[in-house]
Amino acid sequence: MSQAVAPVRHVLIEGDKSYHRITEDLVSPTEKAPTREWMIAFTIAAAFLGLYVFAIVWTVWKGIGEWGANRTINWAWDITNFVWWIGIGHAGTLISAILLLFRQRWRTGVNRAAEAMTIFAVMCAGQFPIFHMGRVWLAFFIAPFPNTRGPLWVNFNSPLLWDVFAISTYFSVSLLFWYTGLVPDLATVRDRATGFRRKMYETFSFGWTGSAKHWQRWESLSLILAGISTPLVLSVHTIVSFDFATSIIPGWHTTIFPPYFVAGAVFSGFAMVQTLMVITRKVLKLEEYITLNHIESMNKVIVLTGTIVGVAYLTELFIAWYSGYIYEQFAFYNRVFGIYWWAYFGMMFCNVVSPQLFWSRKIRRSIWWTFFLSIVVNIGMWFERFVIIATTLARDYLPSSWSYYRPTWVEISIFSGTIGLFFVLYLIFTRVAPVVAIAEIKSILKVAGSQYIGPNAKHQHGTESVKKQDESGH
């Protein structure tokens, strides 16, 4: 298959790797005993997970009256957190699917971890609407199936039900895409393992052999899954935004929501990928696979999507003024200067102002700045959802029902608990599976390895054998 090749190509694999070296580097973290840092991180994450379980049991036992949500502000932290987590998940699919279609080679360094992040983030997101139902043991009522209650069906016209379909489809398709990509790499782990570990990986790698026909089908499958995941990921956050946009509440009832939500999702997702990658590459010593070029590319996506989000905020304000509709105007005046003004300005600063620093190449390529700003962006995107949900509901049509919302310890515990859940899953993932896609890295070695391109290139691209260069190199 001939590939379109960009005229400017960056080195994406540093350190003159041979195929065997790549295997060693990427599989070895799963073969060693966990490091002390890992144990400490895991203990902290597990403690937060414990807190989560406690707060959820508390909620189910006592009812959602234990939350700070009230009759006026009936969607509060829970839906804020739900939208925040779902948005974070979007970067994984963007990297694995959309960048595959655009043939961006830098995706190979980060796609595996980003997709894992997607799956874990969607799992965290799912907790919130499920427990917001209150009587969680009746959660199966959202599934349309012939039943003895009539049969009473769900409302297929409701955006909340569309959400059920969108999120569950998104989760299961992401899982298939991720796991199918993982199978050949699990076979690599299997073939190096002995004893019980070998048995375990034999089961998980489904009997992968590496046959030419299987690779051909595997590539075909990956391409189609990428092709259908692309509209899927766009549809998911569009439908999440429909939860708001199809309502008739001033401040929510806007047509700009779908593109604005999708851009915001990609924005926050890339920030989370940066947070994770900056730590992962350091701890697992993957700096030669997740290079500064990768980090810079992702920072470019952050500055682009951050600016789109900024334009969307300003457009909203302009349209509210231009509409001449006083309720809309009041909703936005209240959003900026009302009781939650601090959330609005926090959002503006974190999402619109702070990413502009990435116009500087020096900051884009700085690990510390990247890490710091990725956290700032994640806080900002959390504020965005809070601003949309809480400020809008706090001041509705009837001044007699105006209200203020503050979270209780239960909600704070559940939210920080899902962060614990996320990191428990991610840390386990780094122990059992290669964090970087081994086979995909090998397949781009000859077009992106430092010995083939860039200032230190020693070889003509793709003509000499890796083995020969290994011998001459040592």
Partner 1 sequence: MVSESKKVLYGLYNDEEDLKSAVKQARSAHLDILDVYTPFPVHGLDPLLGLQESRLHIIGFIFGAIGALFGFGVMTWVFTSDWPILFGGKPYWSVPAFIPITFEMTVLFCAWGMTITFYTICGMWPGVKAPTLDNRITDDKFCIAFDVSASSDGQVDQLKGFFSKSGADEVNLKSM
Query: Under rule CB under 8 A, which residues in 212-251 are in contact with partner 1?
Result: 212-221, 223-225, 228-229, 231-232, 235, 239, 242
Which two tokens mark 170?
Answer: 């998104």
| Residue 96 binding partner 1, by CB under 8 A | no
Residues 8-47 binding partner 1 (CB under 8 A) are 18-20, 23
| Three-state secondary-structure class, residue 13 | strand
Residues 400-439 binding partner 1 (CB under 8 A) are 438-439
**Closer residue to partner 1 (CB): 172 or 360:** 172
Calpha distance 240→232 (Å, rounded): 12
| Residue 442 binding partner 1, by CB under 8 A | yes
| Residue 176 binding partner 1, by CB under 8 A | yes
Nearest residue to 237 (alpha-carbon basis) of 322, 154, 163, 153: 163
| Residue 184 binding partner 1, by CB under 8 A | yes
Calpha distance 421→13 (Å, rounded): 32
The full DSSP string for 16-58 is ---HHHHHHHHHHHHHSPPPHHHHHHHHHHHHHHHHHHHHHHH
| Residue 461 binding partner 1, by CB under 8 A | no
Region from 288-296, 322-330, 451-459, 466-474 binding partner 1, contact rule CB under 8 A:
466-474
| Residue 150 binding partner 1, by CB under 8 A | yes
Contacts of 167 (CB under 8 A, 6+ apart): 86, 122, 125, 126, 236
**Closer residue to partner 1 (CB): 41 or 236:** 236
**Closer residue to partner 1 (CB): 207 or 324:** 207
Exposure class string for 22-50: b at 16+ Cβ within 10 A, else e:
bbebbbebbeeeeeeebeebbeebeebbe
Binder among 53, 54, 58, 191 for partner 1 (CB under 8 A):
191
Contact yes or no for 15/288 (Cβ under 8 A): yes
Region from 6-14, 67-75, 188-196, 350-358 binding partner 1, contact rule CB under 8 A:
188-196
Least separation, in Å, of the C-beta of 313 and partner 1? 26
Region from 175-183, 351-359, 403-411, 448-456 binding partner 1, contact rule CB under 8 A:
175-183
Calpha distance 331→337 (Å, rounded): 10
- List C-alpha distances in Å: 45 to 39, 68, 345, 420: 10, 25, 31, 4
| Residue 156 binding partner 1, by CB under 8 A | yes
Binder among 104, 203, 360, 456 for partner 1 (CB under 8 A):
203
| Residue 153 binding partner 1, by CB under 8 A | yes
Element (H, E) at 253: none
| Residue 204 binding partner 1, by CB under 8 A | yes
Least separation, in Å, of the C-beta of 162 and partner 1? 4
Which residue's structure tokens are 């509210």? Answer: 320
Calpha distance 15→26 (Å, rounded): 14
Binder among 68, 144, 259, 338 for partner 1 (CB under 8 A):
144
| Residue 460 binding partner 1, by CB under 8 A | no
Which two tokens mark 197?
Answer: 């570990």
